């Protein structure tokens, strides 16, 4: 079985973008791949998190993974902070990355451009992410479009390590869905839907009240025409809604366009609002069932054990190769 690995940061509430770009694809791969899926709580520390909120968001994210359909018996689900080896490998890999490479990462550049005061964690962010990935030798890393650049840097660093110290890491491939890899803000469809923007009208949260989520779809910005057609440059709003429709129904965009020939945006949006509402309702019902009791703690403990087993072996191998371990085998 080929292996996949991915993670999500527990910052803010989980969005429809996270669901369509990441969680839903994870669920669809779980029967075909050996999967490691984690909560990137160390990465969330790069921006201040109110401790009680961080705890809640972490718990919610694990619960939502499962509520969305990830089966803990098939997938190794864990918290990044439970596997200490990530931070250690992150240090070694950080020493292999150049300042130039790290400062070219869009996520870092955007923060600098906004003139925000940024911690060193944001700059070093990709090295920890490289460790998350390379630790497990995945064949694929399923992510949304915005994370592709990070996975590409990870490939470069893995190649650098392998050529300096001999073959150690598998070179991972980013896997970005053609449709749904970049869900846009409903009020500003030229901007990515993002959990860090608390402009909640343009962003649907998985735990939003169902009626609120429907309203957000119905009031999504479109254009002055009235035919449902996919054209991201000239009709970014409708194109974004078409991507949401297509991924949630597993239908092609062409097929959906056909269905709405001669019908206006109102009918299209009403139907999509129902589709989104019923998808969220399914997830929320299951979420309520699993957030009671100690079910999640048990899953995290079992997941951490499985992940640590792989991580310890890998880190020991790395440390032998680079000369940190002085004992002969
Ligand atoms: P994060 O938490 O920002 O996002 C989690 C996943 O959701 C995807 N995503 C989207 N996809 C489509 N449309 C959107 N609007 C949208 N918004 C977010 C992201 O692309 C991502 O796949 N650095 C990562 C977390 C991470 C990680 C890793 C991922 C840490 N280590 C190792 C993969 C492998 C992040 O901040 O994702």
DSSP 184: B
With contact defined as beta carbons under 8 Å apart, do 145 and 243 qualify? no
- Residue 262 Cα to ligand 1 midpoint, Å, equals 37
With contact defined as beta carbons under 8 Å apart, do 40 and 87 qualify? no
Q: In angstroms, how far is CA 40 from the centroid of its own chain?
A: 9
14, pLDDT greater than 70? yes
Q: Tell me how far apart the alpha carbons of residues 35 and 29 are, in angstroms, rounded to a whole number.
A: 8
Give the residue from 136, 81, 75 showing the smallest Cα distance to 312: 136
Look over the chain and give the mean of its residue pLDDT values, rounded to a whole number: 96
Q: Tell me how far apart the alpha carbons of residues 89 and 130 are, in angstroms, rounded to a whole number.
A: 9
Would you state the pLDDT for residue 102?
97
- Reported as a pLDDT band with limits 50, 70 and 90, residue 308 is very high
- Residue 205 Cα to ligand 1 midpoint, Å, equals 15
For the stretch 187-200, pLDDT in tens is 999 999 997 655 68
Mean pLDDT, residues 140-162 taken together:
98
Would you state the pLDDT for residue 116?
84
Would you state the pLDDT for residue 80?
98
Q: Tell me how far apart the alpha carbons of residues 46 and 49 are, in angstroms, rounded to a whole number.
A: 9
- From the alpha carbon of 180, which atom of ligand 1 is closest? 12
29-56 burial by CB neighbour count: b if 16+ within 10 A, else e? bbeebbbbbbbbbbbbbbbebeeeebee
For the stretch 77-135, pLDDT in tens is 999 999 999 999 999 999 999 999 999 999 999 999 998 888 999 999 999 999 999 99
For the stretch 194-237, pLDDT in tens is 976 556 899 999 999 999 999 999 999 999 999 999 999 999 99
Would you state the pLDDT for residue 292?
80
Q: Tell me how far apart the alpha carbons of residues 81 and 87 are, in angstroms, rounded to a whole number.
A: 8
The catalytic position among 148, 178, 195, 218 is: 195
Phi and psi, residue 164, nearest 5°: -80, -40
The structure tokens listed for 22 are 């990441």
Would you state the pLDDT for residue 293?
77
Would you state the pLDDT for residue 198?
56
User: How big is the chain by its Cα radius of gyration, in Å?
Assistant: 21
- Residue 305 Cα to ligand 1 midpoint, Å, equals 24
């Amino acid at each position: 079985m080929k292996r996949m690995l991915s993670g999500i940061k527990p910052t803010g509430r989980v969005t429809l973008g996270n669901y369509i770009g990441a969680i839903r694809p994870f669920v669809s791969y779980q029967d075909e791949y050996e999967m490691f899926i984690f909560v990137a709580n160390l990465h969330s520390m790069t921006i201040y998190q109110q401790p009680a909120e961080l705890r809640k968001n972490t718990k919610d994210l694990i619960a939502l993974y499962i509520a969305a359909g990830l089966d803990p018996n098939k997938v190794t689900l864990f918290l990044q902070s439970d596997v200490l080896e990530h931070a250690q490998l992150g240090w070694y890999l950080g020493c292999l990355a150049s300042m130039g490479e790290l400062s070219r990462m869009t996520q870092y550049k955007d923060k600098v451009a906004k003139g925000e005061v940024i911690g060193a964690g944001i700059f070093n962010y990709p090295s920890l992410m490289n460790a998350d990935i390379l630790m497990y030798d995945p064949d694929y890393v399923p992510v949304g479009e915005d994370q592709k650049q990070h996975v590409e840097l990870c490939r470069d660093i893995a190649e650098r390590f392998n050529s300096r110290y001999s073959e150690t890491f598998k070179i991972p491939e980013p896997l970005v869905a053609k449709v749904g890899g970049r869900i846009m803000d409903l009020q500003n469809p030229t901007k990515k839907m993002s959990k860090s923007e608390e402009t909640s009208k343009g962003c649907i949260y998985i735990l939003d009240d169902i009626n609120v989520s429907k309203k957000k779809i119905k009031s999504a910005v479109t254009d002055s025409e009235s035919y449902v057609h996919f054209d991201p440059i000239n009709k970014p709003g409708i194109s974004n809604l078409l991507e949401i429709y297509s991924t949630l129904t597993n239908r092609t965009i062409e097929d959906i366009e056909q269905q709405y020939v001669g019908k206006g945006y109102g009918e299209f949006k009403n139907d999509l609002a129902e589709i989104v509402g019923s998808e969220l309702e399914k997830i929320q019902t299951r979420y309520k069932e699993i957030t009671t009791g100690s079910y999640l703690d048990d899953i995290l403990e079992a997941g951490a054990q499985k992940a640590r087993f792989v991580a310890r072996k890998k880190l020991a191998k790395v440390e032998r190769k680079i000369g940190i371990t002085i004992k002969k085998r």
